[in-house]
Structure 1
Amino acid sequence: MQNKSIDKIISAIDYIETHLSEKIDLDVVANAVHYSKYYLHRTFTSTVGITIHDYIQRRKLTEAGKLLVFSDKSILEIALIAGYESQQAFTNIFTAMYKQPPNKFRENEKFYPLQLKFEFKGRYRMLQNDKKPAWEVTFASDKDIPCWMDLVRLVIDGFPHLNEEEYIQVLKHRIATKQALILKDGTLATGIMIFSYQNGSIDFMGTHPLYRKKGIPRAFLDKVMRELLKGKDISITTYREGDKADTGHRREIMELGFAEAELLVEYGYPTQRFIMPGEVRNEEGFN
């Protein structure tokens, strides 16, 4: 990924963010930033990990959710601000993404984002090398918390109901008990994982979007399976099949070799557990 491409994506994101209350789509954004819409679609999707359409929709719904909880605007007003022509159309997509209708979301008074503004920070030195890097997985320390949280905000789409203040308290505990792993490119966090020695669960795993093809999840699993949870079954939870809010996390977990297990409800959100048996990794090279 060249810096020039990243700069173009930043321009598109900046335009989107300043026009969220307007009717915008790929054509509008491409014209505004003077790029071919085909080139912009391809580059944006490969860089951010979702299409411009999905990014705009998720950002609009996130801001709508914020207004539902923190303002007294009517649901119809919020629907119009979000660019929907009717309250019903807004309610349908909001419910599909948030798993509760706008009026219930307002009553619960618990806002969480579907998508935060994409922020690109750092020099991305390892992206200049076509070779797969030899990642050094290390235990995270307190000084890693700022760059860790920068990455959390980039991958928030995979973790419904995430509250930053509560998350940071959990993170500090996991760092102190050596249950938090990090991969870095210089000062940039490219991969993060919170796991549990006690129950063999992966409680949080995120990869920087620009480094998706650099083998980071497998580097984490290698560390966990060989050293930290050797011989144990590993579990992780993610979206259920067909969830419109899933931007690809379920597929990525299955591609890593995890098998479907029971359906769950976590913090009121429907999820599914996936299991990787401790003895089943020969073909993938983890044993």
Structure 2
Amino acid sequence: MEIELGRECDVDNWMQLVNKVKDSFPGLETKEALEEHRHTVLGFMRKGSAICARVNDQIVAALLFSREDSMLCFLAVDENYRRQRIAEKMVTCMLSLMNEKRDVAVTTYREGVPEGIAARAFYKRLGFVEGKLTEEFGSPVQELILKR
């Protein structure tokens, strides 16, 4: 397995993963939303803000981040590759590319939402702490902050 920056030529493989996990992410319900996400991914790739984990030619995990906003924007791991610390390695890679003096934010499902149990536990294990409650794509979420 290799963890590396995603390139524009990776977008089709990237979107295959997104299609597998889309039901876990609000805002990816329609064909139009997925096409918009594809354009978003390409923008992140052009800025060097997309990280992927690759096994052979298959992308098995994907992460988008914003240096400007000091934010982890998207993180997904194929269910067949979970519990192998891939996400942790990708977050470590992301942190090495960001300003080490700025806190890092991520939003995920609020406490008590079944779809968010694993994600919240993962982020908390990495040191993220609960922040403000907000909403994204019409879904109630909570910001988690990694103090740096």
Query: TM-score w.r.t. structure 1 length?
Result: 0.47
Which residue pairs with 1:274 in the alignment? 144
Per the alignment, do residues 239 and 152 of structure 1 end up closer, same or farther by CA in structure 2, a change over 3 Å counting?
Answer: same
Which residue pairs with 1:262 in the alignment? 132
Q: Does 1:218 align with 2:84?
A: no
Which residue pairs with 1:151 in the alignment? 17
Cα separation, 1, equivalents of 2:115 and 2:100: 33
Shift of 1:245: 4.2
What one-letter code is carried by the residue in structure 1 that aligns with 2:75?
A: M
- Contact 1:148–1:189 (CA under 8 A) maintained in structure 2: yes
Cα separation, 1, equivalents of 2:127 and 2:24: 18
Shift of 1:258: 1.2
What one-letter code is carried by the residue in structure 2 that aligns with 1:168?
A: R
Cα separation, 2, equivalents of 1:136 and 1:229: 24
What one-letter code is carried by the residue in structure 1 that aligns with 2:72?
A: I
What SS does the aligned partner of 2:97 have? Answer: helix
What one-letter code is carried by the residue in structure 2 that aligns with 1:250?
A: R
Cα separation, 2, equivalents of 1:277 and 1:145: 32
What percent identity do the matched residue pairs reach? Answer: 26
Cα separation, 2, equivalents of 1:200 and 1:136: 24
What one-letter code is carried by the residue in structure 1 that aligns with 2:79?
A: P
Per the alignment, do residues 246 and 226 of structure 1 end up closer, same or farther by CA in structure 2, a change over 3 Å counting?
Answer: closer
Cα separation, 1, equivalents of 2:89 and 2:60: 12
Q: Does 1:195 align with 2:65?
A: yes
Shift of 1:148: 0.6
What one-letter code is carried by the residue in structure 2 that aligns with 1:161?
A: G
Query: TM-score w.r.t. structure 2 length?
Result: 0.88
Cα separation, 2, equivalents of 1:245 and 1:206: 13
Which residue pairs with 1:15 in the alignment? none
Match for residue 50 of structure 2 among 162, 174, 180: 180
Cα separation, 2, equivalents of 1:214 and 1:244: 22
Shift of 1:228: 3.1
More strand by share: 2
Structure with the greater alpha carbon radius of gyration: 1
**RMSD after superposition:** 1.6
What one-letter code is carried by the residue in structure 2 that aligns with 1:157?
A: D
Which residue pairs with 1:140 in the alignment? 6
Cα separation, 2, equivalents of 1:244 and 1:227: 32
Shift of 1:266: 1.3
What one-letter code is carried by the residue in structure 1 that aligns with 2:22?
A: I
Q: Which runs of 4+ in 1 moved over 4 A?
A: none
Per the alignment, do residues 190 and 229 of structure 1 end up closer, same or farther by CA in structure 2, a change over 3 Å counting?
Answer: farther
Count of residues paired in the alignment: 144
Which residue pairs with 1:251 in the alignment? 121
Shift of 1:250: 2.3
Structure 2 unmatched runs, 5+? none
What one-letter code is carried by the residue in structure 1 that aligns with 2:88?
A: R
Which residue pairs with 1:123 in the alignment? none
Which residue pairs with 2:105 in the alignment? 235
More helix by share: 1
